[in-house]
């Protein structure tokens, strides 16, 4: 009895220390958080509050519902700007259209502000964010006096669909990614055009000076042939009246420029889109693997903790059994 009483007194003497330790497990109600050792923890929570708020704002602006609402506003803004071009409609409800335009522009400004707050300095790392900021900034320029011409550029807000809709954004990114390859093809086309223009001036310049009398006129005529816009009646037919064999020059030129080189442009763009899709798949797989690894680590830690608890319980049971056998 004396031993049990001393143990009970020792346990009662330890309780105030655990109550004032400030741990979550020993102070479920949080009453010990106002102790003298707790301000550093509160300070860290206060410092983490802006970061958590930024994460919430970023998650809100990236939510599918928010993106859908912005897309609907962009389409509504495009409809408003289109209705203003009709004199009868503008005379009837012009003030309401301009009010709607200002309200939509205000919402766009709030959206950009939320994105900037949620992303911080990373806002300018995205080219699409910079594009949206430029478009909205142009819309904020006064459209009176010398800046009245900028009123027409309000329609640029419709281009924000390219940054909002993922499918359109992917196409634009593919076009930008294919620019280096397009530069090589444009160089090849320039060489073909220059050679064709020099040859056509030499062959057809004397008989058809209005079409092939100079290098510039010849390149313009060859460009019209490449586009297949009235090439037979307005360009080739007049030349073939004096040079019946001229088709032997024009048909190979059409095949090389209109079919071969332009198809190379399409092939490069399609290849760029495939590369972007593969990159997106790789990023998605990498993100899924990282999440799986984090979850696996958590599971391993929980298993180790359970093993440690089982070992402690087994040792306690073993000591209890040994004490029972000793008695």
Quote the pLDDT of residue 28.
Answer: 38
End-to-end CA separation in angstroms for the chain: 16
**Overall average pLDDT of the 28-43 stretch:** 43
pLDDT tens for 67-125 read 899 999 999 988 988 898 899 998 999 899 989 989 998 999 999 999 999 888 888 88
Q: Is residue 42 within 8 Å of residue 49, measured between CB atoms? A: no
Q: Give the pair of three-digit tokens for residue 100.
A: 């709607």
Is the entire prediction scored with pTM above 0.75?
Answer: no
Q: Which of 175, 176, 238 is nearest to 212 (CA)?
A: 238
pLDDT over threshold 50, residue 302 = yes
More reliable by pLDDT, 51 or 132: 132
More reliable by pLDDT, 15 or 232: 232
Q: What sign for the dihedral angle of Cα 60, 66, 70, 73?
A: negative
SS3 107: helix
pLDDT bin (cut points 50, 70, 90) of residue 20 is very low
pLDDT tens for 205-253 read 888 899 998 999 999 999 999 888 888 888 899 899 889 998 899 999 9
**Overall average pLDDT of the 28-36 stretch:** 40
pLDDT tens for 141-177 read 776 655 566 667 777 888 888 888 888 888 888 888 8
Out of 16-20, 196-200, 282-286, give the one with best mean pLDDT: 196-200
pLDDT over threshold 90, residue 293 = no
Count of C-beta atoms within a 10 Å radius of residue 41: 11
pLDDT bin (cut points 50, 70, 90) of residue 36 is very low
Q: What is the mean pLDDT of the chain?
A: 79
SS3 22: coil
């Amino acid at each position: 009895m004396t031993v049990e009483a001393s143990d009970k007194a020792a346990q009662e003497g330890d309780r105030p220390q655990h109550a004032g330790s400030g741990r979550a497990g020993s102070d479920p109600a949080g009453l010990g958080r106002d102790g003298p050792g707790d301000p550093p923890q509160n300070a860290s929570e206060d410092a983490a509050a802006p970061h958590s708020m930024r994460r919430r704002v970023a998650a809100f602006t990236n939510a599918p519902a928010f993106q859908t609402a912005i897309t609907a506003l962009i389409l509504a803004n495009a409809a408003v700007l289109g209705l203003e071009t009709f004199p009868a409609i503008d005379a009837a409800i012009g003030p309401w259209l301009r009010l709607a335009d200002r309200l939509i522009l205000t919402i766009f400004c709030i959206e950009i502000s939320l994105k900037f707050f949620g992303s911080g300095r990373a806002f300018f790392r995205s080219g699409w964010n910079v594009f949206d900021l430029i478009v909205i900034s142009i819309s904020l320029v006064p459209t009176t006096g010398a800046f009245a011409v900028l009123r027409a550029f309000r329609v640029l807000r419709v281009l924000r669909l390219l940054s909002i809709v993922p499918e359109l954004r992917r196409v634009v990114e593919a076009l930008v990614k294919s620019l280096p390859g397009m530069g090589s093809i444009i160089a090849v086309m320039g060489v073909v055009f220059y050679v064709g223009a020099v040859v056509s001036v030499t062959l057809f310049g004397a008989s058809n000076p209005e079409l092939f009398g100079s290098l510039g006129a010849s390149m313009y005529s060859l460009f019209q042939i490449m586009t297949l816009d009235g090439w037979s009646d307005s360009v080739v037919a007049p030349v073939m009246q004096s040079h019946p064999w001229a088709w032997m020059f024009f048909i190979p030129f059409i095949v090389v420029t209109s079919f071969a080189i332009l198809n190379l442009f399409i092939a490069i763009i399609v290849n760029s889109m495939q590369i972007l899709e593969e990159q997106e798949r790789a990023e998605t797989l990498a993100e899924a693997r990282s999440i799986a690894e984090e979850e696996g680590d958590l599971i391993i830690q929980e298993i180790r903790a359970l093993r440690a608890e089982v070992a402690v319980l087994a040792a306690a049971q073993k000591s209890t059994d040994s004490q029972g056998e000793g008695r």
